[in-house]
Each structure stands twice: as structure tokens, then as C-alpha cells.
Amino acid sequence: MSVRVGVLGATGAVGQRLIQLLDPHPEFEIAALTASESSAGKTYREAAKWRVDAPIPTDVAEIEVGATAPEAVPDDVDLIFSSLPSGVGEQVEPEFCEAGYVVSSNSSNGRMDEDVPLTIPEVNADHVDLIEVQRDERGWDGALLKNPNCSTITMVPALEALDRAFDLTDVRVSTLQAVSGAGYSGVSSMEIIDNAIPHIGGEEQKMETESRKLLGSFDGAEVRLHDMDVAASCNRIPTLDGHLENVWADTADDVTAEEAAEAMEAVSGIDLPSSPEQLITVFEEPDRPQPRLDRNTEGGMGVAVGGFRETTDGVQFNCLAHNTMRGAAGASILNGELLDKRGYL
Ligand code: 11C
């Protein structure tokens, strides 16, 4: 039987990707959509300013969009996907959890809270059981699970492969991020053409802290952050979708460029419907991966890497992922599939 799901923030750029990926989905069936007050009461067709590269699914188009509040969502909805602006998520997500809903959230609020699991299922699925601690501490019947920021998701699968084999000590990363990461205002800001913006508010800190939580250890009671040092510099460039990142990774053990590429190529997906067969695709060509050519690797759920070379203390490489698919909507859906598999729904 399918799991009935609701989407909070359904009309935003990530909300629209969620709907695209959920219709159809082998386990989930869309049962409720919410958005801001100005959209409530309209059909989804009327409310959504469609931008992503797919038509509105016909069975979703006529669903009436509700207000973003637990009382506006039917009780028989088992799982909520949230792509709310962080200020709204901070207030509303705990209300849903208190009302008994299990929430898989892409919103940035609360990602580093000690009792909130932050997961990429192929990297640290075991952290999901932090929900037991969360329920004890907060007295919730529901639960809150987060996926990381899209630029963090792009580099962490590759870093995990390096850490497992060669023990990471320091990571430096410089990003070239697509405008869809900034939502509608980013997409429509055509003034970015012939320009690059060397600042994305709060992004560096997210990459530096979230990656240490994802690669940290979980002992059943708490997540201890990985002790590697991470420093990020984030830049916006005029591409529509796909974040490209230049990474310098220092390791405790010696590593060659070939060994680093081999360690990443060996990473497969896991047994969840949205996890790709090949999680990391290695490109040999020196000018790949590129956003326009490679963002849809493995249906947009893969990570592409290339440009390996040895440095004094480790390796340098480039990585790329589709920011609104692998990095946001797809990441939340994978986490929803994990919650289902682990019996939290
Ligand atoms: C960007 N990474 O490209 C941001 C968007 O914390 O989920 C996603 C922000 C987040 O601007």
C-alpha cells in the first residue's frame, strides 16, 4: 500500500521538483499540498509558477493547496516533505512533529541541532536512529529528519569515500553554484549573466559544519562531529542547475590521483528506490564534469567527479551534482524512503 504524503512549500522551486519526483513514485502518493497564504484555496495549477523542466502532473494539478498548518493536512497523511523558507520551517515543522507527523525536511533550520538527524542515506543512514533520542527529549509522536544543503551534498559522498580509505584531515572547497539554488528570485535575476557573485549568505558555514556532522560518528545517543577541518568559499555563477565544486582534500594516509578516483568509483547506491545504481561517476576528460552536460547523471541523483591530481598532502578534484534534484528534492525523498524502510512511518 502506498504511503500518503504531504508537501509543505509546494509552489517553490524545490516544492515543484518534489512533485515532479513524486508523481509517480513507487511508494509515495501525494495527498496534500500546502503553500503560503496567497496560494491557499487555489488549485495547484493556479498556484504554481511552473519553472522546472516538466509539466504539472495532471492528477496533482487540481489538488487544492492548503495553508501550511497541521490542521490543514489530513490525519491519514503518513509523511510530510518540507521545503519551507527556513524562518517558516523553524516555526511550523515542530508543530507538525508535535501533531504526530513525520517530517523529511530540506529547510536549513535545525540541521545542526543535537537531536536532529542529518542524513544522506548512502553516507550515514545509521544516524536516522537519533530520532529515538529526539522523541524522548521532545515528547513528539512525530519526528524531524533533515537533509543537508545542496552544496554540502555535492561533495560529501566523494569525501566519505576518501575518508573511509585514506582518513581525511583537511578539506578546502570553492563552489560555482547555479542560480536555481536561490529559488525564483535567483532564476529570474538575469543580471547575473556576464557576472559571478563571490558570496552566498551563510553557505560557507553550512558546508563547513554539515559535512562534519554527516561524516561524524553516531553511538546511539549522540553524533560526534568529524574532526577534519573544512573551509569553504561559495560563488554564484550564471548556470541554471548543477553546483560544480573544486575540492582540495588532505589525508592522513598517502593517496594517488588514481587511488582517489578508484575509491569513489567503487561507491554504489543503496537499496532505496531513489538511490542510483552508481552513486559517483568518474570522468576521465580533464574538462568534465560540467553543469549542463553532467547534472543529469543517474537521472539527476548521481554525483559526477573528475580532474584528479595529487597535491602535497592529498588530492584535488572537481565534483558536480544537480542541486534541486540530488541536492534538495531528491535528497528529501531519499530520506523519506529511509524513514519508511526503518519503520518510522
Ligand atoms: C544555494 N545552497 O545554492 C543554496 C540553496 O540550505 O538548503 C539551498 C539552501 C539550503 O543558494
Pairing of the two strands 303-310 and 280-282: parallel
**Ligand 1 environment, Cβ below 6 A:** 108, 149-151, 177, 181-182, 200, 203, 206, 323
Could you confirm whether 25 is annotated as catalytic? Answer: no
Tell me which residue of 286, 270, 287, 269 sits closest to 278, measured CA to CA: 269
pLDDT number for residue 183? 81
Tell me which residue of 130, 186, 115, 177 sits closest to 152, measured CA to CA: 177
Burial label for 201, CB within 10 Å (0-12, 13-18, 19+), is exposed
pLDDT number for residue 31? 96
State which ligand 1 atom lies nearest to the alpha carbon of 200. 11
Amino acid at 293: L
- Sorted by where each begins, the domain ranges of the chain are 3-149+328-341, 151-322
pLDDT number for residue 189? 63
Among candidate residues 127, 226, 243, 322, the one labeled active-site is: 243
Distance CA 194, CA 196 (A): 7
State which ligand 1 atom lies nearest to the alpha carbon of 108. 6
Distance CA 291, CA 177 (A): 9
Distance CA 316, CA 172 (A): 9
Closest residue by CA, ligand 1 atom 7? 149
Best residue among 104, 108, 150 to mutate for probing ligand 1, ranked by most atoms within 8 Å of CB = 150
Could you confirm whether 234 is annotated as catalytic? Answer: no
Distance CA 126, CA 100 (A): 22
Q: Which CATH architecture has domain 151-322?
A: 2-Layer Sandwich (3.30)
Among candidate residues 150, 226, 234, 322, the one labeled active-site is: 150
CA atoms within 13 A on the CB side of 322: 22
Distance CA 301, CA 46 (A): 29
Whole-complex ipTM: 0.98
Closest residue by CA, ligand 1 atom 5? 181
**66 close to 34: Cβ distance less than 8 angstroms:** yes
pLDDT number for residue 191? 67
Burial label for 251, CB within 10 Å (0-12, 13-18, 19+), is buried
Tell me which residue of 259, 234, 236 sits closest to 249, measured CA to CA: 259
Best residue among 173, 203, 239 to mutate for probing ligand 1, ranked by most atoms within 8 Å of CB = 203
Name beta bridge partners: 66: 34
Closest residue by CA, ligand 1 atom 4? 181
Ligand 1 centre from 182 Cα, in Å? 7
Query: How confident is the prediction along the chain (345 residues), in pLDDT tens digits per residue?
Result: 799 999 999 998 899 999 999 989 999 999 999 999 999 999 998 898 766 666 777 789 999 999 999 999 999 999 999 999 999 999 999 999 999 999 999 999 999 999 999 999 999 999 999 999 999 999 999 999 999 999 999 999 999 999 999 999 999 999 999 998 988 665 566 668 888 999 999 999 999 999 999 999 999 999 999 999 999 999 999 999 999 999 999 999 999 999 999 999 999 999 999 999 999 999 999 999 999 999 999 999 999 999 999 999 999 999 999 999 999 999 999 999 999 999 999
Gyration radius from the chain CA atoms: 19
Q: Looking at the domain covering 3-149+328-341, what would its CATH class be? A: alpha beta
